[in-house]
Structure 1
Amino acid sequence: MAHWYDHAIIYQIYPKSFQDSNGDGVGDLNGIRKRIPYLKNLGVNAVWLNPVFVSPQVDNGYDVSNYFAIDPHMGTMEDMENLIKDLHRAGIHLIMDFVLNHTSDQHPWFQDAIKNPDSLYRDYYIFAGHDGKRPNNWGSFFGGSVWEPDPAGTGQSYFHLFDKRMPDLNWKNPEVRHAMLEVAEYWLKKGIDGLRLDAFIHIGKADLRQNYPTGDGDVNKPIVAEPFFANLPQVQEWMRPFCEQIKQDYPDTLLLGEAASASVNLAVDYTTKRNHLMDSVITFRYFTDDDSNCDQRFSKQYQPKKLDLTAFKQNQVVWQQTLAGVSQPTLYWNNHDMARLATRVARTQTQAKSLAMLMYLQRGIPVIYYG
Structure 2
Amino acid sequence: MTQAKQYWWQNAVVYQIYPRSFQDSNNDGIGDIKGIISRLDYIKKLGADIIWLNPMYKSPNVDNGYDISDYRAIHPDFGSLDDFKELLAQAHKLGLKIMMDLVVNHSSDENKWFEESRKGPENPYRDYYIWRDPVDGHEPTNWGSYFSGSAWKFDETSDQYYLHLFATKQPDLNWENPKLRHSVYDIMNWWADMGIDGFRMDVINLISKPAEYKDGKLADGERYADVEPIVANGHRENEFLQEMHQNVMAKHDLVTVGEAPGSSVKDAEKYANLDETELNMVFQFEHVSLDGNPKAAFGKWDDRHVTLNEVRTSLSKWQTNLGGKAWNSLYWNNHDQPRAVSRFGNDGPKYRVKSAKMLATLLHFLQGTPYVYEGEEIGMTNAHFKQLADYQDLETHNIYKQLVTDDKLIDSATMMKYIEFHSRDNARTPMQWDDSENAGFSNHQPWLKVNQNYSEINVKQALADPDSVFYYYQKLIKLRHELPVITDGKYELLPGNDQDKDVYVYIRKNADTTLFVIVNFTEKQLTRKYDLPDKKHLLISNYDDDLTAQLRPYEAKVYQF
Q: TM-score range by the shorter chain?
A: over 0.9
Tell me the TM-score normalised to structure 2 length: 0.62
CA deviation digits over 1:234-256, x for unaligned, max 9?
11111211112223210x21111
Aligned to 1:325: 324
Pick closer, same or farther for the CA change 1:204–1:288 going to 2, 3 Å. Answer: closer
Amino acid at match of 1:255: T
Report Cα offsets for 1:283-340 as digits up to 9, x if no partner. Answer: 1112463567x9x799463543312101211221111111111232111111111110
Matching of residues 253-268 of structure 1 within 5 Å: 253-268=254-269
2:12 paired with 1:8: yes
Q: Give unmatched runs, 5+ long, in structure 2.
A: 376-426, 428-561
Deviations along 1:68-111, whole A, 9 cap, x unmatched? 01000000000000001100111111000000100000000111
Q: Quickly say closer, same or farther: Cα 1:363–1:116, change in 2 above 3 A.
A: same
Aligned to 1:235: 237
Amino acid at match of 1:231: N
Would the aligned equivalents of 2:25 and 2:35 in 1 still touch at CA under 8 Å?
yes
Match of 2:517?
none
Distance 2:296 2:363 in 1: 34
* 2:54 counterpart of 1:50: yes
Q: Deviation of residue 190 (structure 1)? A: 0.7
Find the partner of 1:135 among 128, 136, 140: 140
Structure 2 match to 1:363 = 367
Counterpart CA distance in 2 for 1:80 and 1:151 is: 39
Change (3 A) 1:193 1:211: same
Instruction: Give distance in 2, aligned partners of 1:227 and 1:155.
Output: 28
Distance 1:200 1:304, change over 3 A: same
* Alignment length (residue pairs): 365
Take 1:299 and 1:227, find their aligned partners in 2: how far apart are those partners?
Answer: 16
Deviation readout 1:198-237 (Å, 9 max, x if unpaired) = 111111111444111335799xx42123222111121111
**Alpha carbons of 1:103 and 1:291: their partners in 2 closer, same or farther (altered >3 Å)?**
closer
Spell out, residue by residue over 1:330-360, the C-alpha distance to the aligned partner (whole angstroms, 9 max, x if none).
1111111111012212112211111101111
Larger C-alpha radius of gyration, 1 or 2? Answer: 2
Equivalent pair of 2:144/2:151 in contact (CA under 8 Å): yes
Per-residue Cα deviation, 1:234-285 (whole angstroms, up to 9, x for no partner): 11111211112223210x2111110122112211111114571110001111
Q: Alignment partner of 2:118: what SS?
A: helix
Does the alignment pair 1:92 with 2:96?
yes
165-174 or 348-357: which moved more? 348-357
Match of 1:313 in 2: 312
Q: 1:201 aligns with which of 176, 188, 205?
A: 205
Distance 1:269 1:333 in 2: 23
Deviation at 1:146, TM superposition (A): 1.1
User: Aligned residue for 1:150?
Assistant: 155
Hey, what does 1:285 align to over in structure 2?
A: 286
CA distance in 1, matches of 2:321, 2:27: 48
Shift, 1:114, TM fit = 1.4
Task: Provide the rounded CA distance (Å) in 1 between the counterparts of 2:291 and 2:64.
Answer: 29
SS in 1 for 2:248: helix
The equivalent residue for 1:82 is 86
Alignment check: 8 A CA contact 2:198 2:256 kept: yes
1:182 paired residue among 175, 183, 186: 186
Q: Distance in 2 between matches of 1:298 and 1:272?
A: 35
Q: How far does the alpha carbon of each residue in 1:161-185 deviate from its partner, in whole angstroms, 9 at most, with x for none?
A: 0001000000000001000000111
User: Does the 8 Å contact 1:334/1:340 carry over to 2?
Assistant: yes
Instruction: Tell me, in whole angstroms, the C-alpha distance in 1 between the residues paired with 2:221 and 2:303.
Output: 33
